[in-house]
């Protein structure tokens, strides 16, 4: 059955421009170090976006017709790559703490290869180690979606994908991780590298697309979030340079401190409840998830100038948690460039109390 997504609930044009940035904007200070790969990743292939890395896995590793289980709570950018690859997609439900509810999978009597995508939502652990172990033992190919967890210390799945523009002040950037336990990880790394267009060919294709767009000869794409002509784009040189300039440790520490401050200040806030109280020792958050008490909270915060993300476009599934979170779970910034004034603005607008 074709997958359709529920329509958006709100339109950014109906709200004032936010008073602060959702994502980091300040370039690194030129004395950083190389990013370290998570333990268990035998190969790291730089790519342009996580959705493109997922498309590579969908087409080159799994193949059309492969059964793929995806989480019912998602953004379409996680689902569309597998639609593009022709996979047979199903959705598993989530518990309220966004750990996966996998009983449907372990009961699934499979007569063909199957894969499952696990997400470390917002940079939190979400029981990935336990779930990956369970699934791999049952014969699944496990893909860890680390789009929100660019600093995860370990890879427990067979493959992983990161999304670097969510953490660094760049426009693109992702990594395909291939686990060292896969016997043919050298061959897979070579296949992934060969899939990417050489930079000059990509630039020529990109220019052609832009001219087509300008002069109206380009047909609209089949997807809302996946641009098919960009699938094989390499990571931009600008992003690669920024990654070298950045102090990754300072970035992680700043994000963790902001998350903790929001967590303390918003516990008991009138508008909603932090979804997670504590951060684990090695968790580096992407954003701060706040569960609103009612559906009006979103408009209230946006009208106050708070930038928010909310996953409103969900594929139909039987997951009650996802249905509830579609309108109630909002994502607040907690990135490294927030100033003390930004933090005070966020906390006050949510009706929280800053604690020292
Ligand atoms: C969980 C998750 N996976 C994958 C993606 C896709 O990441 P990218 O924008 O790098 O393609 C996103 C966000 O867009 C995401 O939130």
Give the C-alpha distances (Å, rounded to integers) separating 111 from 3, 66, 99, 139: 23, 11, 27, 11
Model confidence band, residue 284 (pLDDT cutoffs 50, 70, 90) = very high
**What pLDDT shows up at residue 107?**
62
Domain 33-195 -> CATH class? alpha beta
Please report, rounded to a whole number, the percentage of residues in the chain having pLDDT higher than 70. 97
**What pLDDT shows up at residue 109?**
60
Higher pLDDT, 207 or 234: 234
Which pair of tokens denotes residue 315? 């594929």
Over residues 136-151, the mean pLDDT reads 96
CA–CA separation, 113 and 157 (whole Å): 16
Is the pLDDT at 11 greater than 70, yes or no? yes
Tell me which residues have their CB closer than 6 angstroms to ligand 1.
49-51, 75, 77-78, 119, 145, 147-148, 163, 174
Which pair of tokens denotes residue 111? 């007569």
Ligand 1 nearest atom to the CA of residue 164, by list position? 10
Give the C-alpha distances (Å, rounded to integers) separating 175 from 36, 67, 86, 247, 308: 12, 24, 22, 18, 25
Ligand 1 nearest atom to the CA of residue 174, by list position? 10
Contact 73, 324 (CB under 8 A): no
Could you check whether 33-195 and 248-349 share the same CATH topology? no
CA–CA separation, 247 and 252 (whole Å): 9
Q: Specify burial of residue 257 (Cβ count, 10 A radius: 0-12, 13-18, 19+).
A: middle
Over residues 217-227, the mean pLDDT reads 80
Determine the distance separating the centroid of ligand 1 and the alpha carbon of 116, expressed in angstroms. Answer: 16
- Give the start-to-end residue ranges of the domains of the chain: 33-195, 248-349
Angle between helical axes of 248-266 and 340-349 (0-180°, round to 10): 30
Over residues 268-288, the mean pLDDT reads 95
Q: Is the dihedral of CA 27, 30, 32, 38 positive or negative?
A: positive
Could you tell which of 47, 53, 78 is best to mutate to test the pocket of ligand 1, judged by most ligand atoms within 8 Å of the CB? Answer: 78
pLDDT tens, 151-205?
999 999 999 999 999 999 999 999 999 999 999 989 999 999 999 999 888 888 8
CA–CA separation, 57 and 51 (whole Å): 10
Average pLDDT score over the chain:
94
**CA nearest 193: which of 35, 41, 60?**
60
Q: What is the pTM of this model?
A: 0.96
Ligand 1 nearest atom to the CA of residue 121, by list position? 1
Give the C-alpha distances (Å, rounded to integers) separating 310 from 59, 74, 97, 187, 322: 29, 10, 16, 39, 12
Determine the distance separating the centroid of ligand 1 and the alpha carbon of 164, expressed in angstroms. Answer: 10
3.30.420.40, 1.10.8.50, 3.90.1150.10, 3.40.50.300: CATH of 248-349: 3.90.1150.10
Is the pLDDT at 56 greater than 90, yes or no? yes
Contact 174, 53 (CB under 8 A): yes
Is the pLDDT at 272 greater than 90, yes or no? yes
Over residues 267-284, the mean pLDDT reads 94
**What pLDDT shows up at residue 210?**
81
């Amino acid at each position: 059955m074709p997958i359709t997504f529920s329509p958006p609930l709100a339109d950014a044009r109906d709200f004032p421009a936010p008073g602060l940035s959702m994502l980091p904007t300040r370039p690194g200070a030129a004395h950083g170090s190389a990013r370290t790969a998570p333990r268990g990743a035998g190969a790291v292939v730089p790519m342009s976006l996580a959705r493109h890395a997922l498309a590579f896995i969908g087409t080159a590793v799994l193949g059309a017709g492969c059964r793929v289980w995806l989480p019912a709570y998602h953004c379409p950018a996680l689902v569309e790559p597998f639609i593009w690859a022709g996979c047979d997609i199903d959705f598993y439900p989530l518990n309220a703490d966004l750990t996966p509810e996998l009983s449907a999978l372990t009961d699934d009597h499979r007569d063909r290869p199957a894969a499952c995508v696990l997400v470390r939502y917002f940079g939190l652990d979400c029981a990935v180690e336990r779930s990956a172990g369970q699934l791999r033992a049952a014969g699944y190919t496990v893909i860890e979606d680390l789009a929100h967890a660019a600093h995860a210390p370990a890879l427990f799945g067979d493959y992983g994908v990161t999304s670097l523009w969510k953490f660094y002040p760049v426009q693109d950037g992702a990594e395909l991780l291939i686990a060292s336990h896969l016997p043919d990880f050298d061959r897979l790394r070579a296949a992934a590298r060969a899939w990417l267009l050489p930079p000059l060919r990509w630039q020529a294709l990109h220019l052609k697309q832009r001219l087509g767009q300008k002069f109206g000869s380009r047909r609209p794409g089949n997807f809302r979030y996946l641009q098919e002509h960009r699938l094989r784009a390499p990571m931009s040189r600008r992003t690669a340079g920024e990654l070298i300039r950045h102090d990754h440790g300072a970035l992680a520490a700043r994000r963790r401190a902001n998350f903790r401050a929001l967590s303390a200040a918003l516990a008991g806030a009138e508008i909603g409840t932090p979804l997670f109280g504590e951060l684990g020792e090695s968790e580096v958050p992407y954003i701060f998830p706040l569960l609103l008490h009612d559906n009006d909270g979103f408009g209230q915060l946006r009208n106050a100038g708070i930038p928010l993300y909310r996953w409103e476009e969900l594929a139909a599934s039987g997951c009650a948690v996802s249905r509830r979170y579609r309108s109630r779970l909002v994502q607040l910034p907690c990135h490294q460039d927030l100033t003390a004034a930004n933090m005070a603005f966020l906390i006050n607008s949510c009706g929280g109390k800053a604690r020292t």
